[in-house]
Amino acid sequence: MDIFEKIDRFTIANDYRALGIYPYFHALESRQDTEVIMEGKRRIMLGSNNYLGLTTEPTVIEAGIRAFEKYGTGCSGSRFLNGTLEMHLELERELAAFVHMEGAVTFSTGFQSNLGIISALVGRGDYVICDRENHASIYDGCRLSYGKMMRYKHNDMQELESILSRIPEEAGRLIVTDGVFSMGGDIANLPEICRLAEKYGARVMVDDAHGLGVIGEGGRGTASYFGLEDKVDVIMGTFSKSLASLGGFMAASERVCDFVRHNSRPFIFSASIPPSACATALAALRHLEAHPELPKRLLALSTHARAGLKAAGLSVRESETPIIPIYTYEVEHTLRKAKEAYDAGVYVNPVLPPATPPSECLLRTSYMATLTEPLIDEAVEILGRVLKG
């Protein structure tokens, strides 16, 4: 059989193009901001993970420019060999201090971070236990490891305990959970996860891609939010969201970090973060530390948006975070409503299977600290009109 036969059977993208509701690869013609120019028209951006709005912060932009001028465009090698800048080490020290851990390791992307962390920590004979709504990068990190993956229903602590109780005592155990879940916007039941981990001798890893800069003291994430920084063993985060750059990191004890540096294939065999991306992440982190009011502003605006969406009669999933899903249920209906909102001037993300069950599709809206109440009200009015029409 020709390996390309499956390509001829893949028709869904063209089917949606023919219907005029294909939702992907809309091209930006302006910077990532609260309002963007996308394919020639102004759109209110309710589909970005730029939670603190720092992609347009002048000090962050200037840091990137200075790094280009000083270091050039890239490092041309892995961190393991010729690709470590003093600035990489500086960023790692400041990230570790920010989340109250001993050490940190940076990776070239957030997706790669989960691949590199989990595949290094979970070995043959070990078990990795995952929430079913964890990010795809966690699933792929589990597949790359030599351990056995077991999944529990979303935030179902009874099933998590049932799984833990069945794992052989001599096996290593790592519980991995999103802190803030990327599609639903809800928060992991970290207190109970940590309690069960202690009871059954497991370690805990939190993917805080959507928690860093959003919840916790000064935006320090999920462990800080619950006061459990001393109970979480590994924190993972990304730079492409609150830190307005590209890359990712793990924070843990120094002995865990050193082990990962020497055993993580995605870390060892990948080029290091380019100087400009490293500098902008570092500048964004420092800006967040200097402005702890930003996460509070973000959550206040999210509360304003949630109240407006409910007042418009829309079915939203409850959360405390800037991720507010609006249920649209069926696939084609979801795509049509996303297209109508886009044409009316609001960009949102349609979420379809396999990211949701087939009858629970939704429009994922997400908010930035740099939005204003009038701009949110304008967007909510458009969404209400589109979704109730």
| pLDDT tens for each residue of 121-175 | 999 999 999 999 999 999 999 999 999 999 999 999 999 999 999 999 999 999 9
* Residue 241 is a catalytic residue: yes
How far is the C-alpha of 168 from the C-alpha of 175, rounded, in Å? 15
pLDDT tens per residue, range 341-380 = 999 999 999 999 988 888 999 999 999 999 999 999 999 9
- Tell me the per-residue pLDDT of 5-57, one tens digit each, with 9 for 90 and over: 999 999 999 999 999 999 999 999 999 999 999 999 999 999 999 999 999 99
Closest CA to 386 of 328, 332, 329, 331: 328
Residue 61 DSSP SS3: helix
Torsion of CA 94, 238, 302, 188, to 10 degrees: -100
Extents of the domains making up the chain: 5-56+292-388, 58-290
Residue 108: active-site member: no
Q: Does residue 317 surpass a pLDDT of 90?
A: no
Phi/psi-derived region of residue 383, left when phi > 0, alpha when psi is between -120 and 50, beta in every other case: alpha
Instruction: For 288-305, write each residue's pLDDT tens digit.
Output: 999 999 999 999 999 999
To the question of pTM greater than 0.85 for the whole model, the response is yes
**What is the token pair recorded at 298?**
């973000």
DSSP secondary structure, 209-224, as one string: TTTTTTSSGGG--HHH
**Average confidence score pLDDT of the chain:** 97
Read off the pLDDT band of 87 (50, 70, 90): very high
- Kindly state the average pLDDT of the residues 84-110: 98
Residue 319 has pLDDT above 90, yes or no: no
In Å, what is the CA distance from 44 to each residue of 229, 361, 368? 36, 22, 11
Chain segment 217-252, per-residue pLDDT in tens: 999 999 999 999 999 999 999 999 999 999 999 999
CATH of 58-290, one of 3.40.640.10, 2.60.40.10, 3.40.50.1220, 2.30.140.10: 3.40.640.10
- Say which amino acid occupies 147: G
Calculate the alpha carbon distances from 349 to 252, 306, 325, 363 in Å: 33, 16, 9, 6
| Integer CA distances (angstroms), 201 to 49, 102, 138, 179, 197, in order | 35, 21, 21, 20, 6
Q: Quick one: pLDDT at residue 355? A: 84
pLDDT in tens, 254-288: 999 999 999 999 999 999 999 999 999 999 999 99
Question: How does strand 203-207 pair with strand 173-178?
Answer: parallel
What are the CA-CA distances from residue 24 to residues 79, 245, 295, 368 (Å)?
34, 22, 29, 21
Q: For residue 26, indicate whether it is catalytic.
A: no
Closest CA to 147 of 131, 170, 171, 176: 171
pLDDT of residue 389: 74
Q: Which of 320, 377, 312 minimizes the C-alpha distance to 346?
A: 377
What is the length of the chain? 389
pLDDT of residue 9: 94
Q: From the options 3.90.1150.10, 3.40.250.10, 3.30.160.20, 3.40.50.300, give the CATH code of 5-56+292-388.
A: 3.90.1150.10
Q: What is the pLDDT of residue 318?
A: 82
Catalytic residue among 135, 210, 337, 339: 210
**Given 48, 108, 113, 182, the catalytic residue:** 182
Which of 88, 241, 287, 337 is labelled catalytic? 241
The pLDDT score that the predictor gives to residue 126 is: 98
